[in-house]
Amino acid sequence: MTKVTFYRGLREIGGTVVAVETEKAVCLFDFGFSVTERADSKVSLREGHIPQDYVRAGMLPPLDGIYDESCASELGLRPYRRGGKEYFFIISHMHIDHMGGLDMLSPHIPVYMSSDSLRLYRRLASQGELTYREHRNCIGVGYGQCFSVGDISIKAVQIDHDCIGACGYLIDTPEGSICYTGDYRFHGYHPEITEAFAETCRGADMLITEGVTVSSADVDMLACERPEVMRTERDLLSETEAIMRSSRGLVVINPYNRNVERVHELIDKAASCGRRLVLDAAQADYVKSFYPDDTVYVYAETIHGRSLPGGAGIVDRSMLLESPESYVLQLDYGDQYELFDLQGAVSAYIHMDGAPLGDYDPSFAKMKLQLAELDIPYHYLSLGGHAYPYFLRHMIDVISPRILVPLHSKRPEQVNSEHIAERILPYEGQTIEL
């Protein structure tokens, strides 16, 4: 008998945790942090109790078979052990709400992800961007490749999202197949990849899909028409180009550093405008590890003891001040005070999905106040990584599953299609037999 249990992330955007259990194995996905009202980053986690504090604070689920001895025994759970049912994770992509909890797992539990995600994960670890510790037992899988654990076999299927390395999974069990999309969109550089995902997963028995874009406004998904015009990554690139061309001084950008492809494209776009894109040390590392042929420049003031990719050119503050019209500077919010010394040279600040992401983060208002104080024009050029509602339905229509389970949405009941036999909106902890 195959059982699918929905633990977390069902009516929120974050912390999706689902388990597929067969006679011989338990496959879990994903493992990011939940959004919880009572957790507070201002309260310190206790040395020696970090994973269990995350569970007790409500950010990770209390599950058997996945934590190490000391964490599990404190929580009254069964620890991860080899032998018996084989527990393992599959991770869709490297956004914190999908992978932030990896550090807290038993170091021995196998965690599968795309080879590209693994490459990024290792670089995040080396740049000090993980929460606690690097998970050692990660296994990279090529797109389109299959692997088996016990009586479950899994295919990693590439999907397009605003994070390099994203994939979904087709999970084959003795009782049927389950498709998990992770996060996806049809308006990135590679809509054909997302389209191919749908084709590969056509006919899955159960489809577990995200539904981020129907989280706020009322949407009648069955009535959605294909949008005639829709903003894409290429549009965002052109909008950025227009600002680069019309600005007389330095242009500062704040993208999300895990969207490596966007930064790679911006390097070329800046060059075509007669500017060099100067990256912080971590961003330069990520770009160079995926695009080794790119010429990267690192801003000296952001190195902070971090490792630099080989062959990187170094640009320092005096060079920006001397010839601001020749550069674009990628600046992480954590380095924002660098603007105190660049103030007179900056003509534009383009906020393109780097933190702080929005009003829910108190830093968002602070960032804008600081820019206003410095008299730096602020441009908000954001483009999400989630499929517009019509395309959520399109994904479901193509796959035409027997059972649809929408989650990773504040209003999953708005996700619908006429090409399904049944839709389930599970409650936390609900188990469905396949």
- Which residues of the chain form contacts with Zn ion (CB under 5 A)? 95, 97, 183
- Return d(Cα 325, Cα 238) in angstroms, integer: 18
DSSP 3-state helix, strand, coil percentages of the chain (rounded to 5)? Answer: 30, 25, 45
- Return d(Cα 357, Cα 97) in angstroms, integer: 14
- Return d(Cα 417, Cα 405) in angstroms, integer: 11
208 contacts: CB under 8 Å, gap ≥ 6: 18, 178, 179, 180, 181, 405, 407
- Return d(Cα 311, Cα 295) in angstroms, integer: 8
Q: Which is nearer to Zn ion, 95 or 288 (CB)?
A: 95
Cα dihedral 32, 36, 40, 44, rounded to 10, equals -50
Q: Which is nearer to Zn ion, 97 or 233 (CB)?
A: 97
- Minimum separation from the CB atom of position 258 to Zn ion (A): 9
14 contacts: CB under 8 Å, gap ≥ 6: 32, 33, 34, 35, 97, 408
Q: Which is nearer to Zn ion, 129 or 175 (CB)?
A: 129
Q: Which is nearer to Zn ion, 95 or 155 (CB)?
A: 95
**Sheet arrangement for strand 313-315:** 313-315, 297-299, 276-279, 327-330, 250-255, 346-352, 378-380
- Minimum separation from the CB atom of position 406 to Zn ion (A): 13
DSSP state letter for 166 = -
- Return d(Cα 117, Cα 106) in angstroms, integer: 20
Q: Which is nearer to Zn ion, 11 or 81 (CB)?
A: 11
- Minimum separation from the CB atom of position 117 to Zn ion (A): 11
Q: Which is nearer to Zn ion, 116 or 172 (CB)?
A: 116
- Return d(Cα 167, Cα 161) in angstroms, integer: 9
- Return d(Cα 89, Cα 147) in angstroms, integer: 13
- Minimum separation from the CB atom of position 348 to Zn ion (A): 27
- Minimum separation from the CB atom of position 98 to Zn ion (A): 6
Q: Which is nearer to Zn ion, 95 or 394 (CB)?
A: 95
- Minimum separation from the CB atom of position 215 to Zn ion (A): 11
Q: Which is nearer to Zn ion, 97 or 103 (CB)?
A: 97
The residue assigned the tokens 């992770």 is 182
- Minimum separation from the CB atom of position 118 to Zn ion (A): 17
- Minimum separation from the CB atom of position 96 to Zn ion (A): 9
